[in-house]
Amino acid sequence: MRRFENKVVAVTGGASGIGQAIAERFADEGARIALVDISRQRIEVALDSLAGRAVASMGVAADVTQVPALDDAFRRIAQQLGGLDVLVNSAGVISRATLAETSAEQWRHVLDVDLSAIFFATQAAVPHMVRRSGGSVINIASVAGLLAVVNAAYVAAKGGVIALTRQLASELAAQGIRVNAISPGYVTTPLNEDIRARGGDRYWVGRIPLRRYAEPREIASACAFLASDDASYVTAANLVVDGGMSSVLLPDPVPAQ
């Protein structure tokens, strides 16, 4: 399928993990790709992987918590690639500290990256979408926004992403811009590499009805659907992609079938 020919797609956090898989999926479907990531080194590696896939691609090294950097990034993307049609807000960090262990700095950092950056990136991107008579914004939330897992800062941020998605969808509909969220469950990414290295994946796999973690490409598939014309009447939705985990009452493991 080539559903995104002549479309420009920007992905924050696009140089690793879920964000990189999303960028690759859109590239495979004909889009021009812009990666926005804090690491210039990761951007260069990711752009190499896009070289044979994307019609055109570029990277912008930017801290998504800095509003001027976001404004500049989206201005450069629109100028170099010819506009902006799709924004995927995928940049994220995680903390596993308890209430007692979480410092003020940790709390603010998680909220800044995982929630506030989505607001400011969307604010910077929307004027460029309006010039294209509409577009699609997809925010990567988490089942942590629905369940009491991980830690307080992360849960608060991801719950905020889901609520923010609904509000932005309401505000931007008149401008032809759809806004949706995806809430992944456990995905094999660098963010949970530490848990998997300690064997924690075996614990959590027992609590997922499909009995495995997701692959980043599976989140990318959901993202491509929401950005496509197949989802032309879908906005303000939160698509849960978690292998059924959030349907199960924790902490009991799902029995093996």
Complete edge-to-edge strand list for the sheet that includes strand 135-140: 57-61, 32-37, 8-12, 86-89, 135-140, 177-184, 238-241
User: Would you say 20 and 27 are in contact if contact means Cβ atoms under 8 Å apart?
Assistant: no
Tens digits of per-residue pLDDT, 128-142? 999 999 999 999 999
CATH classification at residue 109? 3.40.50.720
In-domain check, residue 35: yes
User: Residue 144 belongs to what domain range?
Assistant: 8-238
In-domain check, residue 151: yes
CA–CA dist 130, 24 (Å, integer) = 25
Is residue 173 over pLDDT 60? yes
What is the percent of the chain with per-residue pLDDT over 70, rounded to a whole number? 92
Tens digits of per-residue pLDDT, 20-37? 999 999 999 999 999 999
Count helices and strands (H / E) in the chain.
9, 7
In-domain check, residue 255: no
Give whole-number Cα distances, 256 to 205, 207, 247, in Å.
Answer: 11, 10, 16
Task: State the chain's mean pLDDT as an integer.
Answer: 93
Tens digits of per-residue pLDDT, 112-125? 999 999 999 999 99
CA–CA dist 156, 113 (Å, integer) = 12
**What mean pLDDT comes out for the span 196-211?**
76
In-domain check, residue 232: yes
Instruction: Check 154, 186, 203, 213 and give the catalytic one.
Output: 154
**52-56, 96-100, 200-204: which has the highest mean pLDDT?**
96-100
Q: Given pLDDT bands bounded at 50, 70 and 90, which one contains residue 252?
A: low
Of 120-124, 212-216, 224-228, which range is least confident?
A: 212-216
In-domain check, residue 244: no
In-domain check, residue 221: yes
54 backbone dihedrals φ, ψ, rounded to 5°: -90, 145
**What mean pLDDT comes out for the span 213-223?**
96
CA–CA dist 226, 123 (Å, integer) = 20
Which pLDDT does position 149 carry in this prediction? 82
**What mean pLDDT comes out for the span 80-85?**
98
Which pLDDT does position 254 carry in this prediction? 46
In-domain check, residue 32: yes
154 flagged as catalytic: yes
In-domain check, residue 119: yes
What's the total number of domains in the chain?
1
Is residue 12 over pLDDT 90? yes
Which pLDDT does position 207 carry in this prediction? 82
